[in-house]
Structure 1
Amino acid sequence: MSPILCSIDFSHVTRFNDILQKAISDEFLRFESYLKNACKRFVMELKPTFITDDNPNKDINVAFYNLPLIKRLRELTTSEIGKLVSVAGVVTHSSEVRPELLQGTFKCLDCGTVIKNVEQLFKYIEPIICMNATCQNKARWALLRKESKFADWQRVQMQETSKEIPAGSLPRSLDVILHHDIVEQTRAGDTVILLVPLLAIS
């Protein structure tokens, strides 16, 4: 089963606690896992059957909307890197949807020990060493796909609208990675507002 998307109006966070909204907007990636866990506890209070024996790792994903300031692509600077940014533009291209490994379950090919929940940090990561003290394998692993956690992702390129481009200038563009429920929700020509943690500017 696919994860549940918890959509949160950012203005509600601002009204609730100014320190919390600043922490989320300035360091979203640092607090994302805590936000997911808080939403999961909230959902469990409303629906205790959300977690079942045959699906103990059911996920909650967090998405915000209504960030107070919407930036144009030309206004993005390096000071925004790492922050949660709301940016507007026109979609010019979108890739095919592909699977991404989030947490891997690996089997040691030397002794058969299984290591679960190896977090993948934007690249394929295997266990550093086998947990079996008599084995010490560091290189021979098999990924157990059915026991690992995957998510859909898609790359979308967005560009400044024609009215935002100064005379004689080339349009600015930004590549955005979409995950989970929002893949395949946009197509070329759509004018969109995306709220994303900014990782780089090129």
Structure 2
Amino acid sequence: MKTDTPAQWDKFFNRYYIGDILALANEYPEIRSLYVDFINIEKFDPDLADELLAHPDQSLSAAEEALRSFDLPVKKTLAGAHLRITDIPQKVKIRDLRSIHISKLIAVEGLVRMATEVRPRLLVAAFECNGCGETMLVPQSSGRFVEPYMCKNEGCGRKGPFKIKLTESEFVDAQKLRVQESPEDMRGGEQPQTLDVNIEDDIAGIVAPGDHVIVAG
């Protein structure tokens, strides 16, 4: 039976986090994250907790769908809210990260050695066809700038040129951190290893070099 559904997450939120969600709604959109202790998920439904660890993208998508559509007693929606998981049991040292950890939910602990300035990152670019004026929305990856292949207007179909419309595009605050192993995680003579971490939205800009952090992802 599939457990990581929005309906199951909605039951979880109603049992454990009604007060926190109401507090989030009062502060939203200045604050956009709900912090959830993994232990509470495990107590509520061990299968749901296991699914979260094994398939975090799918599980968090269902959880955020439930959070963003939560039935609030106030006239406000949490359309851009995020779920942040704390106290994840699977902690991995930076030097021990391997391919088996890809696509799994783990936590990494260390010291922030470098933090870039917070800058906007393009999530969805809006383009206007110079031929017919049609507007197209194109999701952007973090690696390269993606333009439309051709105009989606069947009566046009031109392959450009296209003009980006910044006011109709979607951006998010973004920052890169370099996290270094904590001294207590190293044996004598070992050189500290580092991990580059990309963070976005309301958690960008809240830490600085020298801070001790636990990164979940």
Q: Aligned residue for 2:140?
A: 120
Q: Give the letter for the 2:41 counterpart.
A: V
Return the alpha-carbon distance in structure 2 between the equivalents of residues 149 and 48 of structure 1: 26
Are 2:63 and 1:35 equivalent residues in the alignment?
Answer: yes
Tell me the SS of whatever aligns to 1:133.
Answer: coil
Residues 77-111 of structure 1, C-alpha deviation per residue, up to 9 Å, x if partnerless? 21101112111101111111111111222211211
Deviation at 1:165, TM superposition (A): 1.8
Unaligned runs of 5+ in 1: 52-56, 197-202
Return the alpha-carbon distance in structure 2 between the equivalents of residues 48 and 120 of structure 1: 34
Matched residue pairs, number?
188
Q: Aligned residue for 1:102?
A: 123
Return the alpha-carbon distance in structure 2 between the equivalents of residues 3 and 131 of structure 1: 37
Q: Aligned residue for 2:76?
A: 50
Q: What pairs up with 1:144-163 in 2 under 5 angstroms?
A: 144-163=165-184
The structure with the largest strand share of the pair is: 1
Higher relative contact order (CA 8 A, sep 6+): 1
**TM-score scaled to structure 2, two decimals?**
0.78
Selected match of 1:10 from 20, 38, 45 = 38
Q: Aligned residue for 2:52?
A: 24
| Identity within the alignment, % | 28
Tell me the SS of whatever aligns to 2:124.
Answer: strand
Residues 131-165 of structure 1, C-alpha deviation per residue, up to 9 Å, x if partnerless? 21121123422222122211101000011112222
Tell me the SS of whatever aligns to 2:215.
Answer: strand
Deviation at 1:75, TM superposition (A): 2.5
Q: Give the letter for the 1:19 counterpart.
A: D
Unaligned runs of 5+ in 2: 1-28
Deviation at 1:114, TM superposition (A): 1.1
Deviation at 1:14, TM superposition (A): 1.6
Root-mean-square deviation (CA, aligned residues, Å) is 2.1
Tell me the SS of whatever aligns to 2:184.
Answer: helix
Q: Aligned residue for 2:197?
A: 176
1:17–1:182: structure 2 CA closer, same or farther, 3 Å change rule? same
Residues 161-180 of structure 1, C-alpha deviation per residue, up to 9 Å, x if partnerless? 12222223221110111111
Contact preservation (8 Å) 1:95, 1:156: yes
Tell me the SS of whatever aligns to 1:13.
Answer: helix
Deviation at 1:48, TM superposition (A): 5.1
Q: Aligned residue for 1:78?
A: 99
Q: Aligned residue for 1:190?
A: 211
Tell me the SS of whatever aligns to 1:84.
Answer: coil
Are 2:159 and 1:138 equivalent residues in the alignment?
Answer: yes
Return the alpha-carbon distance in structure 2 between the equivalents of residues 187 and 171 of structure 1: 19
